[in-house]
Each structure stands twice: as structure tokens, then as C-alpha cells.
Amino acid sequence: MEPFAPDIRPASPIDGRFHLQEEAGRGGMGVVYKAWDQVRQTWVAVKVLHVMRSTVAARFDREIRLLESLGHPFIVRYHDQGVLPDGRRYLVMEWVEGETLAQRLHRGALSLDEAIDLGRRLASALGAAHRQSIIHRDFKPSNVLLVGGDLQLPKLLDFGVARDVDSDTH
């Protein structure tokens, strides 16, 4: 595995608009930052690639393309994308305050009614993706964010390994 690229702490905002505030998470492809979007006047999540191999870049491009094509209340919204001066790509999505389903489950089991209701909401999100031939492929509690900790407001995250079965060749 390649080492992480240096963390970003720019003196000026990315593309003159995204002011990075704090690291929110780190994964296999990149680092996610909480940032202020000066144009939209709202908080956003900025995912920055930390490696620049062509295979990782292609996967990141696919994630951007798939997320951009999806529009569902229970799937995190795409906002923007770009390239940093050092050549690394970034993706901007809505910022969601809350906790992951994994964090919630760590505190205790859901009731049967809560599990059924949450399952229906997440099935709706996955169904919307599937209708567009998109398979998430990493559906797990840590990739479900509960807005404000509310089980009725889930957001499906991380389409980094998702596939478009109509256009992907592998």
C-alpha cells in the first residue's frame, strides 16, 4: 500500500471556495474533510485522493460519475469536483452531521420496528441505485450515516467500490 500523501492544510481555500476545517475520516482511497463552502454558504464534505495511481484515479472517477448520477433522499448528495495544484483529485458532497449506523449499533440493538423501518429506507436508496444499474458493493453499517442520529434519516455513503453494471468492464 502506498503511504498517505501529506495532509492538506492550505492557507487559502481550495478553488477559492472550500475552506477545510478538520479531518472527518480516512479510508482506502482518500481523506475526507469537513469544509465550509463559501459559494453555497454551507458545510460540505471534501474527499481528497491520497494516492495518485491510475487505478485509484479511475476508481475515484467512477465514484464521482456514479454519485453525480444518483439523486435520492437517503443517498449522500454530490456537489462538485476538482483537481488540487499537486494533481490530486477531490470530490465535494453534502456534509451530514450524525453518527454511523455502526456507532449506533455499538450502543445497542435496534427494536424490530426500528430495524424494519430503517431497512425499508435503505432498500429504497439501494433500489434507486439499482434502477440505474449501480451496485454499491460496500453496504455495511459504517457506510450508513444517521442524520442527527435519527434512524429515520439515513444517508448511504461511500460509492468508492460501486459498479455500473451497464458500463463497467470489471
pLDDT greater at residue 158 or residue 80 = 80
Per-residue three-class SS string for 76-135: CCEEEEEECCCCCEEEEEECCCEEEHHHHHHHCCCCHHHHHHHHHHHHHHHHHHHHCCEE
Least confident of 32-36, 42-46, 60-64: 60-64
d(CA 149, CA 40): 24
pLDDT band at 59 (very low <50, low <70, confident <90, very high): confident
pLDDT tens per residue across span 77-122: 999 999 888 888 899 999 999 999 999 999 999 999 999 999 999 9
The span from the CA of 129 to the CA of 125, in Å, is 6
Q: Per the residue annotation, which of 113, 138, 166, 168 is the catalytic one?
A: 138
In this structure, what C-alpha cell is assigned to residue 166?
451497464
pTM for the whole thing? 0.83
With 80 as the cut, is the pLDDT of residue 17 above it?
yes
Cα 28 from chain centroid (whole Å): 13
What is the structure's pLDDT at 13? Answer: 85
| Lowest-confidence pick of 67-76, 107-116, 159-168 | 159-168
Active-site residue 7, yes or no?
A: no
